[in-house]
Structure 1
Amino acid sequence: MAIAYQQQVDDDTEFALWKIEEEADELYSQLRLDEQEQAHYEGLKVGKRNLHWLGTRVLLRKMLRTEEYIDCKVDAHGKPYLVNLPYHISLSHSFDYAAVMISKAPVGIDIEQIKQKVERIAHKFMRKEELEFINNADKINQLYVCWCAKEAVYKCFGQKEVSFADNILLEPFNFEGHGWVDARLLKGETDINYTVGYLQYQDYMVGYVKG
């Protein structure tokens, strides 16, 4: 297994991308799973979903630099967490890549393969004011930054029933190969400001944030 890209965000926070090239059996042999995890794995359909699940967990092991069993569970909101280690984690995957982010504070990461279809669904996750700052010259890339930024904030916040369009608000920004976007999660009594990083890696976009 080779890490394709790794970035140290600060002293306590890092994320990595890994291109999934191994077969499922090879990945499975690198993991230590309990009975519940084995049952979950066996219930996955063969194919990308299977490889994504294995890939994120093998990458997590590599980043934690351990050969011991890692007790990684999912809470009631679907957010993964480590039972016996003092780190927050976030996992993501898209087509041939897995992404993992680790920190001592809550984090969120999202990776998406860049495709033209995002333009057709932009109105579903963007407010009118946000669509107005999209630059036609960089439209597809900028829309993917918006999607990944909102997904990363959603994962960092870690609770369900959050609307990307109504509850996660982005400030205007100009697209570059990498940069930062100011975001705000606003829902009921909750009002949190985030600074979300983004990175274009080949034909993928990555959004990442630390709470």
Structure 2
Amino acid sequence: MPLHSIINHNLTTQIYVWKIEETFEDLFDEVALNDVNLIRLNTMKSEQHQRGFLSVRKLLQESGLTDFDLHYTQDGKPYLKNGKFISISHSHEFSAIIISEQAVGIDLEIQKEKALKIASRFMDISHLENLSQTDKIKKATIVWGIKETIFKIKNEKGISFPNHIFESEFSLSDQKATAQLRFDNLIEDFNIHFEEIEDYILVYAFQA
């Protein structure tokens, strides 16, 4: 079944993960879209992007919601009409949503060597010392996810991954980390959780 997993982080936070195996037609037949999102779907040029978009609507159904409960701000940040927080991510074969009573961000990334090649552009590369090549790729992917999740929570123009978001040192076995956003004369702390799902890294964050 394409519903890969449901992660109950706590009583008020659930993560839903979908493995995208269906055709576009099968997914489209199983969801109902509001008019705005139907237009949005039809403007997408990539079928992979369309399938990711539709699989997110399948995850909404798994959580007891529908596309009609999901809205977007002018800046593109998703929100729910019931007042709960939501964050969305999809990458290649997987999609994920997190729903919580706290402000949250989620990111799903496939592990690729590219993350390591560009690591110096977005992270403290000293955090990759004394790791195998495989673990360096894994950790660089996690750090990218950390920065993506914090950016999704704040959703403010001008935030720079290397200049404003700083991850604390962590071990891969910890499955959690902390990070700080230093931006606009404020310092804000975030609690991070991460885990592997097949060849992907799932990261989600809460503002501390």
SS in 1 for 2:30: coil
d(CA) in 1 for partners of 2:191, 2:206:
8
SS in 2 for 1:86: coil
For residue 114 of structure 2, the aligned residue among 108, 113, 117 is 117
The alignment covers a number of residue pairs equal to 204
For residue 77 of structure 1, the aligned residue among 75, 82, 93 is 75
Report the AA paired with residue 77 of structure 1: D
Report the AA paired with residue 131 of structure 1: I
d(CA) in 2 for partners of 1:52, 1:2:
12
For residue 193 of structure 2, the aligned residue among 186, 197, 211 is 197
Name the counterpart of 1:131: 125
d(CA) in 1 for partners of 2:74, 2:126:
36
Name the counterpart of 1:55: 55
SS in 1 for 2:172: coil
What's the TM-score, normalizing by structure 1? 0.90
d(CA) in 2 for partners of 1:206, 1:175:
13
| Alpha-carbon spacing, 1:107–1:142, altered in 2? closer, same or farther (3 Å) | same
d(CA) in 1 for partners of 2:67, 2:201:
31
RMSD: 1.6
What's the TM-score, normalizing by structure 2? 0.92
Segments of structure 2 that go 5 or more residues without pairing to the other structure are none
C-alpha contact (below 8 Å) 1:133/1:172 kept by paired residues: yes
SS in 1 for 2:42: helix
Instruction: Say if 2:146 is the partner of 1:183.
Output: no
d(CA) in 2 for partners of 1:108, 1:69:
19
Name the counterpart of 2:138: 141
For residue 104 of structure 1, the aligned residue among 70, 91, 101 is 101
Matches within 5 A, 1:9-24: 9-24=9-24
C-alpha contact (below 8 Å) 1:111/1:204 kept by paired residues: yes
SS in 2 for 1:181: strand
Report the AA paired with residue 33 of structure 2: L
| Alpha-carbon spacing, 1:35–1:187, altered in 2? closer, same or farther (3 Å) | same
Q: CA deviation at 1:69?
A: 5.5
Instruction: Say if 2:20 is the partner of 1:5.
Output: no
